[in-house]
Structure formats: C-alpha cells, structure tokens
Amino acid sequence: MKRLLQKTHEAWLATQMAAFMARNTESKRWLNEAAMILWRHFTWIEHEMVVRGIEYDYDRETIPIKVERLSVMIADLNRRYGEIELLLGASEDAALKERIAHDLEYLRFAAGRLPDETVRAFSMERRYKDLDLGKEATDALTLFLFEESYKEYELILIYNYLRAHNDDTFLDRIFGILIDESFFHLRSFGEMMAEMGILGVPRVVHESLYKVESLERFLLDGIDEEIAAKEQCRELSQAVAAESEELAKFFDFINNQENYHIALMKEAVEHYRAEGR
C-alpha cells in the first residue's frame, strides 16, 4: 500500500507538470483533469491506509520532466499509470480497485491520443508572454515563482495529511478550502513558470512538516507565513507595475486572497482552543 500511494503521488504530480508544459488548449485541459482524477485516487488510497492503520509518509522519487516533445512525457505518464495498475492488488477495497483500474485504462487511452508538440517550458528564457520586464523585476518574479510553487505544493500535502487524520467537520471544511486555494495557486504559478521556460518539480516535503506535534502551533506559524506571503506579493506587484499592469493586478489579487486564508486559520485556532484540545 505504501508503494501504491507513492506511485500514485508521483503520477499525479507528473501529470500536473505535463499540464503546465502543454500549450495546446485541449491537451492542457485534459491533463489538468487527469491530474485531479489521480489526486482523488491518492486521497482514496490514503483513506484506506488510515482506516487499516498503516503508517505512511509522502516521500517520493525524483520525477524527471525535462523533455523536448510532449509525446515523451506522455509515454512516461502511461508507464506510470501501468505501474499503478500492477500495485492495485495491495488494496483490500474491491470497489476502489475497480474504479482506479477503469480510470487508468481510460487515462492511458486518452493520453495516447493527445497531439504532440514542442515543449518550451525549459527554455530558460525567463520572459513572460510578450512583456519586456527589466532584470530586477524578472529576478524577483523568478525567485517568487520557485519559492511559492513549492510552498503551495507543500501546503496541499500538509492540509491533506491533517484532514486525513482528523474527524472534526469544522476543521475538515477549513482544510478543504485551503487545499483548493493552494491548488489554484500552484496551477497559476506553474503555468507562469512554464511560460517563462523555468518549470521545475517541487522538492520533496519532509514528513516533519505534515506530521505536526501541535496543530495550534502549526496554525499560528501558518498565519505568520501567510502574512509574509502577502508582503512578498505586495513587493512583487510594485516591482512589475511599471512594466506590466496585468502582472501587478494578478499579484494584488493573490495578495488579497491571502486575507481570507488568514481569517480561516484564525477561525481554526479559535475552534481548536474552544474544543479544549
């Protein structure tokens, strides 16, 4: 089961990376949908492990994605889907195994029908669309995207682990919202990285970050991190404003979203304390 969870994790992340690098609109849409299907598989497998009392972590192997043609990445995805199929016997949930097996059969078929294209996500041009950003703004944007894409991936895993190991419906709702928000941010930043030719896979998240000893301390630290992220967005908006109103408005938009995240985390802290935990 641990191997099944890990390989599903890797397949989900690899499929998401493929969605970022695809430029064909339909291919990008389909790969994003496939990634979310695999994410659901991941959470369902995880749930079975929690129910069966199987200890696990979110460790994974390196995921090579630097390709020149999308077809090479698609072939790798199909290999990964086949690998998961071979591991499904570890599950004791017959309905889950059948569902995942049928999904993977279709994913392999549909992925093989996607049109091939040249991949530009690793060109290192560091140019966003047709904008002529100066060096300072480009450097600031590059650093922000690398840091924040990892942070959003990290938060998805942390909140998912916390949700999987708690039976509090109030906290479950908040964790679910924060996961959805981090998915949106990860996709937004991943698309921008691919456009700039600097796409990269987020590094592995160490288990000490999601196997938290104190939920209250984690939430309080998370509030501080969100406040720091707001400041980064504000500074980046100012750095690019002279060259691009579009980018400045986008980072103001992200900045303002963080306000709600902070409010939700404060609610979670108050609820946690009220429950006397």
| CATH number of the domain residue 112 falls in | 1.20.1260
Q: What is the pTM of this model?
A: 0.95
- The range of the structural domain enclosing residue 157 comes to 122-277
Q: What is the pLDDT of residues 7-43, one digit of tens each?
A: 999 999 999 999 999 999 999 999 999 999 999 999 9
Rounded to whole angstroms, the Cα distance separating 136 from 129 reads 17
Answer yes or no: do 274 and 238 share one domain: yes
pLDDT band, very low/low/confident/very high, at 131 (cuts 50, 70, 90)? confident
pLDDT of residue 239: 86
Domain boundary among 103, 119, 135: 119
Residue 144 confidence (pLDDT) above 70: yes
State the Cα angle at 188 between 183 and 189, rounded to 5°: 100
Q: Which residues contact 13 (CB under 8 A, 6 or more apart)?
A: 60, 63, 153, 201, 202
Answer yes or no: do 108 and 26 share one domain: yes
Answer yes or no: do 5 and 95 share one domain: yes
pLDDT band, very low/low/confident/very high, at 277 (cuts 50, 70, 90)? low
Contact 111, 26 (CB under 8 A): no
| CATH number of the domain residue 233 falls in | 1.20.1260.10
Residue 125 confidence (pLDDT) above 70: yes
Residue 225 confidence (pLDDT) above 70: yes
User: Structurally, how many domains does the chain consist of?
Assistant: 2
In this structure, the number of other CB atoms found within 10 A of the CB of residue 111 comes to 21
Rounded to whole angstroms, the Cα distance separating 169 from 107 reads 33
Rounded to whole angstroms, the Cα distance separating 107 from 38 reads 10
Residue 49 confidence (pLDDT) above 90: yes
Query: What length is written for the chain?
Result: 277
In this structure, the number of other CB atoms found within 10 A of the CB of residue 267 comes to 15
Q: What is the pLDDT of residues 239-264, one digit of tens each?
A: 888 888 889 999 999 999 999 999 99
Answer yes or no: do 9 and 80 share one domain: yes
